[in-house]
Amino acid sequence: MRKVYIETYGCQMNEYDTEIVKTILKQNNYDLTEQPEEAQILFLNTCSVRENAHQKVYQRINTLKQLRKKEKKRVMGVLGCMAQNLRDELLDEKVGVDLVAGPDSYKKLPAMLESVVQDDARQYALSLSEYETYSDIFPVREEGVNSWIAVMRGCDNFCTFCVVPYTRGRERSRDPLNVVDEVKRLTDQGFKQITLLGQNVNSYQYGTSDFADLINEVSKVDGIERIRFTSPHPKDFPQKLIETVANNPKACRHIHLPLQAGNTRILDMMNRTYTKEDFLHLVDYMKERIPDLALTTDIIVGFPTETESEYQDTLDVIRTVEFDSAFMFKYSERKQTIASRKYPDDVSEEEKTSRITRLVELQRNISLKRNQQHIGKVFSVLIEGKAKKDGQLMGRNDGNKIVVFADTGQKIGEFINIKITTASTNTLIGEVV
C-alpha cells in the first residue's frame, strides 16, 4: 500500500501544499506516481472558492471510484479547502471517501493512512491551527525557473463572499530567516525566480518585519533574479511597499490588485474596506511611482443586490485603470460565508452571464491595446520553456507577460532581450536582439 497519486485543484497555494504533502509522504517511505492506475492511494487536493470547483471534484471522485472497484484496497482521500468545508458530506458512505484532511493537518497524513488500512475506519483531521506554517518542511519541487514559496497562510479579512477564512483559518507568517534559508536552497537548485505566496500576502508580519522587509531580505540572496508575489489586498499597500517594488531591482514591476467590484456600496457589502475612489487613488499613486507597472486584477460580477448601474461602475474602473489582464468570475454563493447568511443570491444566472460576457469583452480589448503598446519595445525575458508552436520558446517579461520567440538554441532559465514585433490579447511575440 505504498504508491500515492495526487491531483491538485485551485490556487497556487494548493499547488504548494501538494508539494508539502508529497514531501511528508516521501519522508514516510511512500512512493509517488503520476498514474492513478498504479497507485494504492488516491488523493485530490481540492478548492472551495467557487461552486464549479466542487462539482469537478465530485465528478473526479466518481471516475476514480471505478479504479477502486478493480482493486478494493485502494484508499481515496480528499485534502484541502473542500475537505475543510464539506467534511460530513464527503464522509457520507455513498461518496466513498476514506480520508479527509484540511490544510493544517498534512503532518497527520502518514498516521491517518496507517489507520485507514489497519483499522479499516474512515479518518478525518480538520482542526485549523494558528501556528502551522510547515516551515520545517522543504517541499520537493518540479524543476523549473520559478519556485513558489508560502510565506504566510490563512486570511483574517472576511470578505463576505469568500470561504477562505473558514477553510484556511487565521493569518500566520513565517520567520523571515526561515524564508531566506529556503530561498537559498532554491537558488542552489537553480531557481532564478521566486513567487512569495499567501492568501493575503502583503499582510505578512513577523515580529517587526513587514512584507516590504521580507522582499528586501529575500532580494539579498545571490542567484535570485526576480521576486514576484501573490495575492495581495489593496488595503495593505503602504508607501514603503510601493517604494520597494519601485526601487528594488529584483522586485518585478507587476502588481496583482484584486478590485472585486467598482461600486462603493457593493464593496462595502463585500467588506473590502475601500471605496471606488480609494482604489483609483491607490492605482494612480502606484502608476506614478512605478513607471511601466503591469497591473492585473480579480473581479466578481452579480454579487447580491448589484444593479446594472452599479455593475457599470466596475466597467468604469476597468476602463480607467486599464488592467493588463483580469480574472473574472460570476458570484458563487459559498456555504459558511457572511454573504450566504446575510444576502440572498438574487442576481439571476442570466444577468450574471450577461454581465460577465460584457466584462470579458471589454477586458479583452484593453488587454490587446495594452499589449500593442509594447510593440517596438525591448524586454528582458526569463526563458521558461517551449512555446505551443514548434520551433518557438516562451518566457515572461518583468510584467509577467508571456513572450514568444524563435528557438535558436537558447537555454531554459536564461535571460534574453527580445524586441516585440506583434501582440495578441494574451501574448507578445518578438525577436532576439
Site for ligand 5AD, rule CB under 6 A = 49-50, 161-162, 258, 260, 298, 300, 329, 331-332, 334
Instruction: Tell me the closest approach of the beta carbon of residue 286 to ligand 5AD, in angstroms.
Output: 18
Instruction: Say if CB 332 and CB 52 are below 8 A apart.
Output: yes
**Least separation in angstroms between CB 221 and ligand 5AD:** 29
Spatial contact of 379 and 371, defined as CB atoms under 8 Å apart = no
Binds 157, which of ligand 5AD, ligand SF4, none (CB < 5 to 8 A, cut-off by type)?
Answer: ligand SF4
Residue whose CB is less far from ligand 5AD, 226 or 334: 334
Residue number of the CB atom closest to ligand 5AD: 298
Residue placing its CB nearer to ligand 5AD in the complex, 148 or 206: 148
**Which residues does 136 contact at the CB level (< 8 Å), separation at least 6?**
none
Sign of CA dihedral 300, 306, 308, 313: negative
Does residue 133 belong to the site contacting ligand SF4 (CB under 6 A)? no
Distance of alpha carbon 124 from the chain centroid: 25
**CA 70, 73, 74: angle at the middle one, nearest 5?**
75
Identify what 332 binds: ligand SF4, ligand 5AD, none; CB under 5 to 8 Å per kind.
ligand 5AD
CA distance linking residue 288 with residue 282, whole number of Å: 10
Closer to ligand 5AD by CB, 84 or 260: give it: 260
Q: Which grid cell is 251? A: 522586485
Looking at the Cβ atoms of 87 and 334, the one nearer to ligand 5AD is 334
Which residues, numbered 153-172, are part of the site for ligand SF4 (CB under 6 A)? 155, 157-159, 162, 164-165
Site for ligand SF4 in 219-238 (CB under 6 A): 233
Least distance to ligand 5AD from the beta carbon of 329, Å? 4
Of the residues 105, 147, 193, 199, which one makes contact with ligand SF4 according to CB under 6 A: 199
Nearer to ligand 5AD, 146 or 332 (CB): 332
Residue 275 or 354 having the CB closest to ligand SF4: 275
Binding at 331: pick from ligand 5AD, ligand SF4, none (beta carbon under 5-8 Å per type): ligand 5AD
- Cβ at position 285, least distance to ligand SF4 in Å: 21
Q: Which long-range contacts (CB under 8 A, 24 or more apart) does 279-287 make?
A: 279/234, 279/317, 280/317, 280/320, 280/321, 282/234, 282/237, 282/257, 283/257, 283/321, 285/242, 286/237, 286/242, 286/255, 286/257
Number of residues that bind ligand SF4 (CB under 6 A): 10
Least Cβ distance, residue 162 to ligand 5AD (angstroms): 4
Judged by CB, which is closer to ligand 5AD: 9, or 329?
A: 329
* Least spacing, CB of residue 230 vs ligand 5AD, in Å: 10
Q: Which is nearer to ligand SF4, 60 or 335 (CB)?
A: 335
Minimum distance from residue 11 beta carbon to ligand SF4 (Å) = 9
* Smallest separation, CB 47 to ligand 5AD (Å): 9
**Shortest Cβ 199–ligand 5AD spacing (Å):** 9
Q: Which stretch binds ligand SF4 (CB under 6 A): 10-18, 138-146, 150-158, 365-373?
A: 150-158
* CB closer to ligand 5AD, 49 vs 269: 49
Q: Find the shortest distance in angstroms from Cβ 268 to ligand 5AD.
A: 17
Nearer residue to ligand 5AD within complex by CB, 206 or 331: 331
Provide the binding-site residues for ligand SF4, judged by CB under 6 A.
Answer: 155, 157-159, 162, 164-165, 199-200, 233
